[in-house]
Amino acid sequence: MYRRPGLVCRDHLLTVPLDHSAPTGAQIQVFAREVVSSQREHDDLPWLLYLQGGPGNKANRPVPTSPWLRRALTEYRVLLLDQRGTGRSTPATRQTLAGMSPVEQAGYLGHFRADSIVRDAELLRRHLLGEDGRWTVLGQSFGGFCATTYLSLAPEALDGVVLTGGLPPLHADAEQVYRALYPRVLAKNKLYFRRYPGDEELADRVVRHLRRNEVVLPDGARLSVERFLSLGIDFGAAARFDGLHYLLEEAFLGEELSETFVQAVVAATSFATRPLYAVLHEATYCQGGASRWAADRVRAEFAEFDAEAGQVRFTGEMIYPWMFEQDPALVPLRAAADLLAERADWPHLYDPDRLARNEVPVVAALYHEDMYVDRDFSLETAEAIRGTRTWVTNEYEHDGLAANGAVLDRLLSLLHGHA
C-alpha cells in the first residue's frame, strides 16, 4: 500500500491461465491497482472496475488531478486493470515473444482479446470481492467493447455498466467498420485544415521532402510518407487535436527536417510501448471471419487519401501492413500479424440474445463526431442491449471522459436514475 495526496493505492497481482479454456495450462499474470479516496479509505464502498481504451494500452496511472477519477472516488473504490499483455501484467512484446515461431506467436496473441480480458476480470472480482460480490464497470473506448463482452459472458457479476465512446458494433466486420470511419477521418482533416489553413502547404512540403530525401528516424527506420501521414491518429481527441500543428510549425530547419520534428514523429508513431494495439486492432472486430488487413483494402475506396493525387490527407487509427515493415518494434511480429489477419475462426465476443434480455443498468455517452467508434453502429448496439440509456453529445470528443469530470458525473446520474 502507498499514498499520494488524497489517494490510497494497493497493488494486486494475480496469476491467470493464458487460455481460460485450459486452466491448467500456461499461466500469465495480470496486474490491477486499487485506488480509494484517503477520506473514505475505511468505508465499505462499492467497486468500480475501469477498463482502458486500446487494445494494448495499460490502465491510467492514478493522479489526484484526474477529473474522472476524482469524481469516481467520491462514491467508489476504483480498480485500474492493466489488461493482459500491458503495463505490469505479463507483457506481450517483441522481447517476450522473441523465442517463439510466427505460428506460436499468433497462437499466443490470439488469447489477448476482450473475451480473455473479461475472464481475467472475473478472476480478479472473485479474488477481491468473493464469489457473490458484484461491481460496476466503466469502459472507455475499447474498454467499452470489453464491457459489452462482459454483459454477454457474465452479467450476473455486474451492478451496472458505464460506457464512454465504447459501444461496439455487434455484427459489422472490420471492413464495414472502416468503410464507416474513413469519412469521419476525412471530416477531421477538413476541420484541421480549416483551423490551420497554412498547414496544408506545410504538410505537402514535408511529403515532397520525404520523397526526395531519405530521412532516418532515431529508431533506425526511414521516415516514409505513410508514417508521416499516420500522425492524424490524434485528430479525434480534443486534447491532442492541435498537436500536429505545433509539430509542423517546427518541422523545418532551413531546407532540412529539424531534429525536434523527427524525434517527435518517432515518439508519436512507434508502437514500441503498445504493440498489441497494432497486432490486434482489426481482430477486435472479428467474430468468426478474417480481417485480411481490412483498413488497407478499404482505404483504396477513398481517393482523397492518395497523396500522389496532389493533396495531403492524414489517416486515423487504422493499422496497415507497412507498419510491420517500417516500425522496428513491429517488424519481428510481421509474420504473426499476417497469420492473425487471415484467421477465420475467431470466437464471438457478443451474445445478441443475452444482450436483448439484459437486466443490468447500462448508460452510454456517444460522441456525435467520434472518429474512432462509429456513432451509427453504436446507436444500433444501444438499441440491441435492453434498457440502455444513451447520451449523445457533440460537446465532447472521444477523450471526453479524461477531459472533464462532468462526463462521468452525468453518466453516473443516469445510472442511478437521477437524470
Identify whether 132 is a catalytic site residue: no
Q: Considering 37, 378, 398, 399, which one is annotated as catalytic?
A: 398
Taking the CA atoms of 123, 289, 139 and 67 in sequence, report the sign of the dihedral they define: positive
Q: How big is the chain by its Cα radius of gyration, in Å?
A: 21
Say how far apart CA 409 and CA 128 lie, in whole Å: 26
Residue 163: DSSP 8-state:
E
Cα separation of the two ends of the chain: 37
Q: How far from 32 is each of 88, 95, 134, 308, 394, CA to CA, in Å?
A: 8, 22, 17, 47, 33
291 is annotated as an active-site residue = no
- Among 37, 66, 116, 141, which one carries the catalytic annotation? 141
Catalytic residue list contains 398:
yes
Amino acid 49 reads L
Instruction: From the candidates 132, 345, 353, 418, give the one annotated as an active-site residue.
Output: 345
Alpha-carbon span 97 to 106, nearest angstrom: 10
**Best CA proximity match to 412, nearest among 361, 346, 359:** 361
Per the structure block, which three cell numbers stand in for 242? Answer: 492541435
- The bridge status of strand 47-51 relative to strand 7-17 is unpaired
Active-site positions read 141, 345, 398
